[in-house]
Chain A
Amino acid sequence: MKSDILKVRNIGISAHIDAGKTTLTERILFYTKRIHAIHDVKGKDGIGATMDSMELEKERGITIASAATYCEWRDHEINIIDTPGHVDFTIEVERSLRVLDGAILVLCSVGGVQSQSITVDQQMKRYKVPCIAFVNKCDRSGANPTRVIAQIREKLGHNAVAMQLPIGLEADFQGVVDLVKMKAVYFDGENGEAVRWEAIPENLVGEANRQREILIDSAAMFSDELTEAALEDSVTEELLIAAIRKATLTRELTPVFLGSAYKNKGVQPLLDAVTDLLPCPADVENQALDMDNQETPVRLVPDTTRPVVALAFKLEDGQYGQLTYIRVYQGNLTKGDTIINVRTQKKVKVGRLARMHADQMEEINRIPAGFIGALFGIDCASGDTFVSPGLSLTMTSMYVPKPVISLAIVPEDHKAEINMSKALNRFTKEDPTFKAFVDEETGETIISGMGELHLDVYVERMRREYKAGVTTGMPRVAYRETITQMAEFNYTHKKQTGGAGQYGRVAGYMEPTSEEDFIFENKVVGGSIPTQYIPACEKGFRNCLAKGPKLEFPVTGIKIVINDGASHSVDSSDMAFQAAARGAFLEGYAKAKPVIQEPIMKVVVETPTEFQGPVMGSLNQRRGIIVGSQDEGVMCVIEAQIPLSEMFGYSTVLRSLTQGKAQFTMEFFNYKTVPASITEEIIRKAQEEKKHVA
């Protein structure tokens, strides 16, 4: 295993769904000799692409888990994280971006910059990940790389510059002109493995010269040396590459490459670019937070002699047992070392270490700073930081959104029940946005997550990987209740039915708050409620929150202040005050104008302009507020805020409205009060459901 950090590249491949990133990864692995045959994404040959190791991914042609793999190219070690393209899995994308140093942004030469590319690009921007772009599918009819480059500039705001020119396009796509070397590149052999360099075809010489000028001009902005050389007409390949690299690392320039991964064209020059232009771990500044010092940021140095700081960014339960993907930021993680999980403060002994190649593995003895590898048999959660004893650093924690949709699942038999619980245990550890719990009332297991597809995929994984057959209920929106005005309460709980009595009086008020889900404040003076019963009061109020009195949805955004009460020397107890608090809550709640709130999604539809009217109509029908429409030439982007409950099955509607030419993405926006007419509908449905359960 290599340890020269300058020759390491940790990269991700991000794109819109179906832009062809898994195919591209497959070709990269083939040309770097990690695999010896090429398989299609959709598994036509019954095998499927190497990176899509989960069966489900192969079947649907989508990549779900970001399997990490490594390969070698021109004496460099490249670790690739294949990231999912669907918005429901953005937590996976974000987690991957956290550990990457650079990325390839794959774009379709026909579809161009699509909505998901914009989301992924924003995520890259947030984590300051430098990237190069690859305009794929240049062999497709309608391919127009020039338009895509213009879109990268306009829609993503990148300073995009072409590094290559296409030789022919669509069915006639033959190869590319390298604007740095000023040569034509062709890809021969059955799988395009033989790279042939030739003189630039005559008809392209003029355009190539013009584009090279543009490239030099763009790069010269970042290098005085290059500017001088350009003036003296003595630009060398090294000088030009160095200037482009410098600007790429600071995200001031985005070099654009062309090709068709499926037709085996343009992949090798892209690999050259990964080694030439993307950063090595030493080029990137990483920070951790010092827990002992009020979370002050501390710069991590990719030096193997320093103490270890590493981040577990992905867990997998595969054929080799539990596998924890880890990136080492500092120090040298060696077999037999003792490290500490900062979150749990538990000591862990490093057992087996491995390097992963999709679902195959290679055992290694150490993972030096800057490298990515996997640990065996370590109990941790995704996002945990591991450090050498004596350090107390944590990598920046990531924002985890709350689930917005839930689904009841019932195992088909006893065996399925056992397997289901194993699967849920694994999934909830792997994915912080996926939750599972048992509804005490109905006894059903409820899973919740970020969208329909998100839950769908986990149900399928349960069936396939864990042989846990489950039947699912209708998806349920995570409604919640809150109050809208201040209300007072003064409730006495009194019971005298033989034996010890119960007595407690609780008085105070409740009011809406936007600071937290629940705030409890004790303003009782003079001991009207003895101090020992205050926690019982808080518990009593807190217990009421799980199921709101209005429609049994969780209550949030409520502040309870108690300021008076009464007790009895014999009959008062924790139990009595809990009951009094419950009564007080119900009394106050009824007066505080409770409302139901529902999750609102930010929906972005990208559609050809001719369908703009019908698409707007479809959004408007769904109780949505259309925020605006953005004219993008032939396409237009419509942004709307729509209740999640109205979005079920929207993909089918959109497809039929636009002949399948429009796409949409959806993400959680906020919670809003449900209009009165809809509240009645929800109440009616809830009552029906109750009858059904009974």
Chain B
Amino acid sequence: MLKKDLILRNPLRLLGNERETILSPGGFGAILARAGVGKTSLMVQLALNSLLNSRNVLHISMNDPVKKVSLWYDEVFRHIAEKYQLSQMDQLWEAILPHRFIMTFKVEGFSVPKLEERLTDLTEQSIFFPNMIIIDGLPFSEDARDLLQDLKQLALKHALHVWFSVRTHRHESAESNSDGVPTSFQEVADLFEVLIGLQPEGEEIHVRVLKGGNPDRDHRGLRLDPATMLIMDVADKAAAI
């Protein structure tokens, strides 16, 4: 199967427009879920989607080592390859790998000036120019707003968009507003264009668009496959049957 077919069949397209990106330059998106529900997996799928479009992804992980992040990509890519029966998996993998760069920081050591310094290291020497940043594991504490605003400036400057993972807690689901956004996150929610929630229901994990996304598309059938953690559209499945 060709790269193009893989992109077309990717259920992530339901989240965005015809273009491959869901967010506009400088835009923020977040995936909200409890621990272990599949935030990182969905983030990696968003990243792989971008990589398949030959768009560079800078994956920033807090606390996890580079090796562990790489393993996530290996694993998700392997599942995708199996699902779509990719024949030349190795070649495709080698082709997309140069478009990815992993940076890991300690939570306490992370700051926007530091990230900017690292980015300059990469861009000045023409090593890597990210089109998209993924930030996994950033704690959304009370002072997060300042940091996010600085990040927004950085994103606008470099014309890139940023996806965050947001860890919610069990008790928060009861405290959510009518859109399903947890109250603790509401203070910064205005900075985000798109919010996606992952909600386990019985054996299934529902993918809910809490804010933004393409209103013309029907997202109701989006799920994470509990076996592979890959996003799927149950409507597609029903149609196939």
Contacts and interface: CB of A to CB of B under 8 A. Distances in A.
Binding between chains A and B: yes
Interface of A: 514, 612-613, 616-617, 620, 625-633, 637, 639, 672
A631 B103 contact: yes
22 contacts: A612-B118, A612-B121, A613-B121, A616-B125, A617-B125, A620-B125, A625-B97, A625-B98, A626-B101, A626-B127, A627-B66, A627-B70, A628-B59, A628-B69, A628-B70, A628-B104, A629-B103, A630-B65, A631-B103, A633-B106, A637-B66, A672-B94
Given A613-B120, A639-B66, 17 more contacts: A514-B90, A613-B121, A616-B121, A616-B127, A617-B125, A617-B127, A625-B98, A627-B70, A628-B59, A628-B101, A628-B102, A628-B103, A629-B66, A630-B65, A631-B106, A631-B109, A633-B109
Contact of A629 (B104, B106, B120): B104
B151 to A, nearest CB: 17
Contacts of A637: 66
B128 interface: yes
Contacts of B92: none
A673 to B, nearest CB: 8
Contacts of A631: 103-106, 109
B106 A613 contact: no
Contacts of B18: none
A630 B104 contact: yes
A612 B122 CA distance: 10
Contacts of B94: 672
Nearest to A639: B66
- By secondary structure, the B interface counts as helix
Nearest to B67: A639
Nearest to A629: B103
B179 interface: no
B106 A626 contact: no
B97 to A, nearest CB: 6
Contacts of A514: 90
A314 B25 CA distance: 61
A502 to B, nearest CB: 40
B125 A630 contact: no
Interface string B101-115: 111111001000000
A558 to B, nearest CB: 16
Q: What are the 5 tightest A-B residue pairs by CB atom distance, in nearest-first order?
A: A628-B102, A613-B121, A628-B66, A617-B125, A631-B105
Nearest to B104: A630
Nearest to B124: A613
Contacts of A625: 97-98
Contacts of B122: 616
Nearest to A625: B98
A339 to B, nearest CB: 43
A632 B122 CA distance: 18
Interface residues of B, number: 25
- By secondary structure, the A interface counts as strand
A118 to B, nearest CB: 10
A119 to B, nearest CB: 12
Which of B59, B65, B105, B124 has the largest number of chain A CB atoms within 10 A? Answer: B65
B43 to A, nearest CB: 15
Interface string B162-192: 0000000000000000000000000000000
Interface in B206-227: none
A298 B211 CA distance: 59
Interface of B: 59, 65-67, 69-70, 90, 94, 97-98, 101-106, 109, 118, 120-122, 124-125, 127-128
A312 B106 CA distance: 45
A483 to B, nearest CB: 14
Contacts of B124: 613
Contacts of A627: 66, 70, 101-102
Nearest to B121: A613
Given A639-B66, A672-B94, A629 B128 contact: no
Contacts of B128: 626
Contacts of B70: 627-628
A625 B66 CA distance: 14
A626 B103 CA distance: 10
Contacts of A617: 125, 127
A337 B86 CA distance: 59
A639 B102 CA distance: 10
A514 B59 CA distance: 30
Nearest to A631: B105
A514 to B, nearest CB: 8
A272 B128 CA distance: 53
Given A616-B122, A625-B98, A630 B66 contact: yes
Nearest to A154: B106
Contacts of A626: 101, 127-128
A631 B59 CA distance: 13
A301 to B, nearest CB: 38
Contacts of B125: 613, 616-617, 620
A628 B134 CA distance: 14
A613 B126 CA distance: 11
A527 B8 CA distance: 50
Nearest to B69: A628
B121 to A, nearest CB: 4
Contacts of B105: 631
Contacts of A632: 106
A310 B66 CA distance: 40
Contacts of B118: 612, 629
B107 to A, nearest CB: 10
B2 to A, nearest CB: 16
A633 B106 CA distance: 8
A613 B117 CA distance: 9
Contacts of A672: 94
A24 to B, nearest CB: 29
A635 to B, nearest CB: 12
A672 B95 CA distance: 12
A637 to B, nearest CB: 8
A617 B122 CA distance: 8
A633 B125 CA distance: 23
A632 to B, nearest CB: 8
Nearest to A638: B66
Contacts of B106: 631-633
B130 to A, nearest CB: 13
A639 B66 CA distance: 8
A295 B124 CA distance: 56
Nearest to B59: A628
B178 to A, nearest CB: 40
A322 to B, nearest CB: 41
A123 B125 CA distance: 36
A44 to B, nearest CB: 40
Nearest to B65: A630
A632 B65 CA distance: 10
Nearest to A641: B97
B164 to A, nearest CB: 18
A631 B61 CA distance: 10
A627 B98 CA distance: 8
A621 to B, nearest CB: 9
Contacts of B104: 628-631
A486 B241 CA distance: 35
Contacts of A633: 106, 109
A626 B90 CA distance: 18
Contacts of B127: 616-617, 620, 626
B81 to A, nearest CB: 14
A648 to B, nearest CB: 22
A485 to B, nearest CB: 10
A115 to B, nearest CB: 13
Which of A612, A628, A630, A639 has the largest number of chain B CB atoms within 10 A? Answer: A628
Nearest to A618: B125
Contacts of B109: 631, 633
